[in-house]
Chain A
Amino acid sequence: MRRSSVPIELKASFPESAKTSLRDTQLRRNLGKATQTIRGKRAAVVNEMPDWENLREAGRAIKQRVMRHLDHYLLELETAVQRAGGQVHWARDAADANRIVADIARSHASKEVIKVKSLTTDEIKMNEALDELGIHALETDLAELIIQLADESSSHILVPAIHKNRAEIRELFMRTLGVEELSDEPAALAEVARRHLRDKFLNTKVAISGANFAVAETGTICVVESEGNGRMCVTLPEVLVSVMGIEKIIPTWQDYEVFLQLLPRSSTGERMNPYSSFWTSVTPGDGPQEFHLVLLDNGRTQVLADEMGRQTLHCIRCSACLNVCPVYERVGGYAYNSVYPGPIGAILTPQLRGLENAESLPYASSLCGACYDVCPVKINIPEVLIHLRGRVVRERQERQGVRRHIYPEDLAMQMLTRIFLDQFQFERVQRLGRLGQGPLARGGFIGNLPGPLAGWTAMRDMNVIPEQTFREWWRSRYE
């Protein structure tokens, strides 16, 4: 299969973007507070489940089966959706999907469409694509609305406006929605948004949704949410278009038993989310009378082809990994330069976009493993990160050919391997290091390291190599 033409943009590396984010003290405070709160809620509702580990294992096993037989399940889903009166569209990439959705909107002469939070449409930049054709896409999820009004992008999978606090949202609503008096109480803020949106729900003809799950055997799509805005989006308009990545399939209705326990507890820290909407194409006299399902590849079959990386597609977008990640908590979502931030983004983005377009992301982790512990479908994120680092290095070496021998890190690693392969060479280098550090060492520490190691001593002192290595001591003991 040819490489999907994911839009390739020149983006800053993770360390560069992180540096900028780390300077934002308000962001640090908002993120720290929000992630710690959600983390606590999740832990409480997970710890009360005696069979949590079994559920995780079931979730993992179901997803693994889906990935193994994805071709079969996709065709089963297509047949089921068509049988119930819906239309199925296959989109190889972002351009395909956006064109399909635009054509549907234009066939109904719609200049405005409403949307319920959909990460997948953010991935393919659907709003921008529709905008160019004169079609405005209005976000109806409260957090999505906030960032749309602020002309920003999402910084969290589940809580897109996590980087904003109440005071900032109040100020934004007063500026953009023409409200004069407004408190920063959550209920008051929600009320303003509700009034703004209610009119749109009743008067817009075409709605676009994402999908949390799609059941292959029945063709039933599911969206889970907290606000009910999604429910209105998928029931009130005449035409509904659902855009989903091909990996969102689950085989049977019964599998909801597993995922509707795993997802809410992992994501919002609730036993059950307030609204779960299910629909099977078209029901005469009830809800939208025209239904389209857009099945999006956009790099996913590439991910599927990598045996180790494949587990990334198990993700149900709960965002538990973001909330426990010590890196995400400090740098926020923007540092990842992708609609998918945090640990899952660090493995998903490079695989979807091509490693050469996101080389720094697999390194955006200390490999602490907190993400793996909370993942409801047991994606071994640290293992995949290390695997992708291996691919980054190998692909760079192949690209550079013989020039890789002058790439400093590569050179250092090759030299170290040679040193470590020979005990006496290793001992010589230990002695050389002890001698060489002389000019740098003061009082048992080094305050400034040269070259690529300077990052270490920017804010840390470095221990000096002591007078005697362990092996020298060991030898002296038996002399």
Chain B
Amino acid sequence: MRVALFITCFNDTLFPATGQAVVHLLERLGHQVVFPMEQTCCGQMHYNTGYHREAIPLVRRFVRIFSPYEAIVAPSASCVAMVRDLYPHAAELAEDRQLAAEIAALTPRVFELTEFLVNKLGVEDVGAYYPHRVTYHPTCHSLRHLRVGDAPLRLLRAVKGIDLVDLPAAEECCGFGGTFAVKNADTSMAMLSDKLRRVLDTRAEVCTAADNSCLMHINGALHRQRTGVRTMHLAEIFATTERDF
């Protein structure tokens, strides 16, 4: 299948390794990856912070750039949720029926990486090898907005060599929440400190998730506290094979 990678502005700038992992992974599975160079940002930060009118041009731009592709995949649940759940509202706000129709046609083809692998491609064993102790944090947007269910866990369980440990109270928010982490920094930190305690309790070396934004928040505190535990996006685990060792 020809897959258009929606890297997201955040991953493009701060986590290029995640994008590279998605490319290697999908190519290894026999798919052709294309990267529409024009892409920038889906407008999620604007929209979730209340700058709805400011997000509309970005929505139009995204729809124009990605509409030609049969499958669009992003290593970010929250950006996919923006497209799937909030783009229809943006079109309504713009009072643009044409845009609404284009969005309705586009959104069934936009996937978060793990739902694409498990639900669309029907793959669970991606041939990965990752001999580390790993715990999985289901991010709110993957769990409750996109409803990816146990797709990430099924993929993780099929990884060779992995020592996968359950994260207690895994379904609780880590406290990131986009601009929430800055506007309500104290509350965000209180939520993060409980998440951190649970991650450390698992004695995992790596905490993984479907969103680098949440992971950056978690890793920021893991690093500040010199815990010796790191975070890694799911795609990077799935891309790793025995040949990498």
Contacts and interface: CB of A to CB of B under 8 A. Distances in A.
A470 B20 contact: yes
Interface string B162-187: 00000000011101111111111111
Contacts of B187: 15, 18, 22, 327, 330-331, 364
A393 B186 contact: no
Given A414-B54, A423-B40, A369 B185 contact: no
A19 to B, nearest CB: 5
B98 interface: no
10 tightest A-B CB contacts, nearest first: A366-B177, A460-B220, A389-B50, A455-B185, A368-B173, A369-B144, A393-B50, A470-B19, A470-B16, A368-B140
A422 to B, nearest CB: 8
A43 to B, nearest CB: 11
B182 A373 contact: no
Contacts of A14: 184
Interface stretch (B108-116, B150-158, B188-196): B188-196
Contact of B180 (A19, A367, A420): A367
Which range holds the interface residue count of chain B?
A: 35 or more
Interface of chain A, helix or strand or loop or mixed? helix
Interface string A451-479: 01101111111110110111111100000
B223 A456 contact: no
A400 interface: no
Given A366-B177, A413-B49, A445-B223, A326 B182 contact: no
A387 to B, nearest CB: 8
B118 interface: no
Given A369-B144, A474-B35, A453 B182 contact: yes
B7 interface: yes
Interface string A380-398: 0011001111111110000
A37 interface: no
Nearest to B54: A417
Interface in B40-71: 40-41, 43, 45-55, 57-58, 61
B145 A456 contact: no
Given A426-B9, A461-B220, A365 B50 contact: no
Given A390-B50, A423-B38, A367 B190 contact: no
Given A15-B187, A390-B51, 5 more contacts: A366-B191, A368-B144, A417-B46, A420-B61, A458-B189
Interface string B103-126: 000000000000000000000000
A369 B145 contact: yes
Contacts of A22: 186-187, 190
B73 to A, nearest CB: 14
